[in-house]
Amino acid sequence: MLVVITTCTGTFATPKTKTVEVGIYPNKPLVFFEDEEAKGFLVDILEEVAQRENWILVYKNYEFGDGLKALESNDVDIMVGVAYSDTRSKKYTFNTESVFVNWGQIYINSNSRVESFQDMYNARVGVYKNDIHYLGENWFKEHTESVCCARTLY
């Protein structure tokens, strides 16, 4: 009788674990790999969720665009740190709570005479490929293409 109770208690007390594959890309301090270990603010939050949900997390290191492709092809279950856009919401499911507010910023040489988008006519501009601040609705690419002809470098 004691064996049956112990077995039943052990069976019901141990929740089933689930392996969750997570895409990580270099975006310090939010998400990044260091010494072959996933780190960052969003990784810390995900680790807490995983502990509560009894998940085993397996991190995979990608460049951002490749991580999105891995998410689309179900090679990963979660891609951490993806900014919301209407276009992306048609492909991916997003959490409903904002965790971090992000923004884009333009840096110019201190000797530059650039003061507006129009001043960037035919300028060379470096951007993070597939970044929401470059490609997203109402963002840099759209603005520069509508008022000037900035040449983009990735």
pLDDT tens digits for the chain (154 residues)? 333 333 344 445 556 899 999 999 998 999 999 999 999 999 999 999 999 999 999 999 999 889 999 999 999 999 998 888 888 899 999 988 888 877 777 778 889 888 877 777 777 777 766 677 666 665 666 556 655 555 555 4
CATH 3.40.50.300 fits 7-89, yes or no: no
What is the reported pLDDT for 53?
96
What is the reported pLDDT for 76?
97
What is the reported pLDDT for 119?
79
Cα 70 from Cα 67, distance rounded (Å): 5
Could you tell me the residue ranges of all domains in the chain? 7-89, 118-153
Question: DSSP characters for 92-130?
Answer: S---SS------------TT----SSGGGTT-EEE--TT
What is the reported pLDDT for 6?
32
